[in-house]
């Protein structure tokens, strides 16, 4: 049984003293100290249990014994870099390849999603000889400099307009609920992909050349966005016509999370195959590992630069042993099937909430990738940002961990470990139902301006007094209005 070695206040004090202040904790006004976890449950220092609906890293469940065993057994034998021959590396690459279309056959192992996307950009630049990159609005692709440049989710937080680089082009997010072309549009896939085509034309007029289009197969931080079917095929045609490649970021959504398929991009149909796929978070179930997979042609071009690629930790025997164990557990416990069944049940139950609660504007999802968008007005789609925060804080009081994301922080975001059960789904939906009922009752949804914030960040609320302290205006909405952020 794990124990804590410092009391909670001491942990907080040391964190404040020695950890960079921009590294945030969940629920910063009353953070949770977790000392052990198992399956879909996390336990704090008092042994209190929390249901984890947000941890897409502990993919096959926290501390899965098979994964732990694989790690410790390999650690006892050997861990070293990939300049020595080792079977784990090649066997794992072969197993991974078997989940992908044949064209994607060459792997580079790295240690984080950011490293994977940074390498993907280098591959694209080298293969195409071009520089320009098209990214989607609200996208997040990682924390290193090259990726902040292509992550509007991050660079929009900076007041400094210079952070928008000339070679980066931002296409509208293919969001058919709140985006530029909505569900009532006759052909949103074509309309959104035409935006990419037009961006390419404008880049060409300015002398730019397209190296890559990068997108998550389903946008996660961007608000659990599900692109219309056929969108990626049409985008890929425009991008390839311009000599560029398509990078699918599967860091959050890959590895069976969407239930019906192993990879998110496969939801678009078998006729869409990206040129480069990046993966991360779930691949090592918490162990830092990630991977870039591409075609032989792209890999050859990277080789022809003459520069060796070396990564000290990427693809080491321990990481690959863990990766193999994760794939085995996924298969042996039919966790992709569980995502399909339980995720479908969860989405159906949440869909019923839409019938009862005016705050629920949209429910969308595939498997265990589910979003519930809260709005104050279903016609104007006014984001219910404070209400979404209220929901996640109230859930936390009930020991259920959920997050709110998207450009307005009004999308409840489900991405639980893949062992999440039917009972877990029913519990969380029931609790959300009760919390929404309280908020709507207090607000009287016909008078939405009962909830607002004044300029000094003081609340004028008539319902709960448990809203967290307002920290800062760090985000801008579609109309450039400030959005206050709670941690």
Which residues contact ligand PLP (rule: CB under 6 A)? 112-114, 117, 140-143, 216, 220-221, 249, 251-252, 280
* Smaller CB separation from ligand PLP, 301 or 322: 322
User: What's the closest the beta carbon of residue 411 comes to ligand PLP, in angstroms?
Assistant: 14
User: What's the closest the beta carbon of residue 205 comes to ligand PLP, in angstroms?
Assistant: 31
User: What's the closest the beta carbon of residue 249 comes to ligand PLP, in angstroms?
Assistant: 5
User: What's the closest the beta carbon of residue 442 comes to ligand PLP, in angstroms?
Assistant: 34
User: What's the closest the beta carbon of residue 278 comes to ligand PLP, in angstroms?
Assistant: 7
Helix axis angle, 87-97 relative to 317-332, nearest 10°? 40
* Smaller CB separation from ligand PLP, 225 or 386: 225
Sequence length of the chain is: 487
* Smaller CB separation from ligand PLP, 54 or 324: 54
Whole-number Å distance between alpha carbons of 358 and 147 = 38
* Smaller CB separation from ligand PLP, 247 or 349: 247
Beta-carbon-side half-sphere exposure of residue 80 (alpha carbons within 13 Å): 7
* Smaller CB separation from ligand PLP, 93 or 279: 279
* Smaller CB separation from ligand PLP, 292 or 346: 292
User: What's the closest the beta carbon of residue 80 comes to ligand PLP, in angstroms?
Assistant: 23
* Smaller CB separation from ligand PLP, 280 or 361: 280
User: What's the closest the beta carbon of residue 367 comes to ligand PLP, in angstroms?
Assistant: 17
Whole-number Å distance between alpha carbons of 224 and 2 = 35
Q: List Cβ neighbours of 406 (8 Å cut-off, separation of 6 or more).
A: 138, 221, 222, 223, 224, 371, 373, 413
Query: From the DSSP assignment, how many helices (H) and strands (E) are in the chain?
Result: 13, 20
* Smaller CB separation from ligand PLP, 62 or 141: 141
Letter string b/e over residues 75-94, b meaning 16 or more CB atoms within 10 A of that residue's CB: eeeeeeebeeebebbeebbe
User: What's the closest the beta carbon of residue 303 comes to ligand PLP, in angstroms?
Assistant: 25
* Smaller CB separation from ligand PLP, 142 or 343: 142
Whole-number Å distance between alpha carbons of 126 and 110 = 18
* Smaller CB separation from ligand PLP, 96 or 251: 251
User: What's the closest the beta carbon of residue 443 comes to ligand PLP, in angstroms?
Assistant: 32
The owner of tokens 């704090």 is 44
Nearest 5°: CA angle at 422, between 416 and 424?
55
* Smaller CB separation from ligand PLP, 216 or 362: 216
User: What's the closest the beta carbon of residue 343 comes to ligand PLP, in angstroms?
Assistant: 19
Q: What tokens were used for 144? A: 């290193």
Whole-number Å distance between alpha carbons of 277 and 265 = 9
Distance of CA 260 to the CA centre of its chain: 18
User: What's the closest the beta carbon of residue 369 comes to ligand PLP, in angstroms?
Assistant: 12
For the sheet containing 106-110, what is the strand order? 106-110, 290-294, 276-279, 245-249, 210-216, 132-136, 168-171
Whole-number Å distance between alpha carbons of 457 and 471 = 9
What are the DSSP calls for 395-435, one per residue? Answer: HHHTTEE-EEETTTT-EEEE---TT--HHHHHHHHHHHHHH
Task: Find the residue with minimal CB distance to ligand PLP.
Answer: 113
User: What's the closest the beta carbon of residue 216 comes to ligand PLP, in angstroms?
Assistant: 5
Whole-number Å distance between alpha carbons of 252 and 216 = 8
Whole-number Å distance between alpha carbons of 420 and 422 = 7
* Smaller CB separation from ligand PLP, 25 or 78: 25
Spell out the long-range contacts of 37-42 with Cβ–Cβ below 8 A and sequence spacing 24 or more: 37/62, 37/63, 38/62, 38/63, 39/417, 39/419, 40/416, 40/417, 40/419, 40/420, 40/421, 40/424, 42/401
């Amino acid at each position: 049984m794990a124990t804590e070695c410092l009391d909670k206040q001491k942990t907080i004090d040391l964190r404040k003293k020695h950890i960079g202040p921009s590294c945030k904790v969940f629920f910063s006004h009353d953070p949770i100290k977790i000392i052990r976890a198992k399956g879909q449950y996390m336990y704090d220092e008092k042994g209190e249990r929390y249901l984890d609906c947000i941890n897409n890293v502990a993919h096959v469940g926290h501390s899965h014994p098979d994964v732990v065993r694989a790690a410790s057994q390999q650690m006892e034998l050997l861990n070293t870099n990939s300049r020595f021959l080792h079977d784990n590396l090649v066997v794992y690459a072969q197993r991974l390849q078997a989940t992908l279309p044949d064209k994607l056959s060459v792997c580079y192992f790295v240690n984080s999603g950011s490293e994977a996307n940074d390498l993907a950009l280098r591959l694209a630049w080298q293969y195409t000889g071009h520089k320009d990159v098209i990214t989607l609005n609200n996208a997040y692709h990682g924390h290193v400099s090259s990726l902040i440049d292509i992550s509007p989710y991050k660079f929009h937080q900076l007041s400094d307009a210079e952070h928008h680089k000339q070679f980066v082009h931002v296409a509208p997010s293919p969001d058919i609920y709140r985006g530029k072309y909505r569900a009532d549009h006759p052909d949103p896939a074509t309309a959104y992909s035409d935006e990419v085509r037009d961006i390419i034309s404008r880049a060409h007029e300015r002398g730019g050349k397209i190296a890559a289009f990068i997108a998550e197969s389903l946008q996660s931080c961007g608000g659990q966005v599900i692109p219309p079917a056929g969108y990626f095929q049409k985008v890929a045609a425009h991008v390839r016509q311009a000599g560029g490649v398509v990078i699918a970021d599967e860091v959050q959504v890959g590895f069976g999370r969407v239930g019906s398929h192993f990879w998110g991009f496969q939801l678009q149909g078998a006729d869409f195959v990206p040129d480069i796929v990046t993966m991360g978070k779930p691949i090592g179930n918490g162990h830092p590992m990630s991977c870039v997979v591409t075609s032989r042609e792209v890999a050859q071009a990277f080789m022809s630069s003459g520069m060796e690629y070396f990564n000290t930790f990427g693809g080491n025997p321990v990481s690959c042993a863990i990766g193999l164990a994760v794939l085995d557990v996924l298969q042996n416990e039919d966790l992709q099937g569980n995502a399909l069944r339980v995720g479908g049940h969860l989405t159906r139950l949440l869909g019923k909430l839409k019938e009862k609660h005016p705050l629920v504007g949209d429910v969308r999802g595939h498997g265990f990738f589910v979003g519930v968008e809260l709005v104050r007005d279903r016609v104007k789609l006014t984001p219910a940002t404070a209400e979404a925060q209220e929901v996640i804080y109230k859930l936390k009081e009930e020991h259920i961990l959920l997050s709110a994301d998207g450009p307005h922080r009004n999308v409840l975001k489900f991405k639980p470990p893949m062992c999440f059960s039917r009972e877990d789904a029913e519990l969380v939906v029931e609790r959300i139902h009760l919390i929404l009922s309280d908020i709507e009752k207090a607000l009287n949804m016909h008078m939405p301006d009962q909830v607002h914030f004044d300029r000094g960040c003081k609340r004028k609320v008539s319902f709960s007094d448990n809203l967290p302290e307002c920290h800062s205006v760090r985000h801008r909405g579609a109309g450039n209005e400030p959005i206050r952020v709670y941690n």
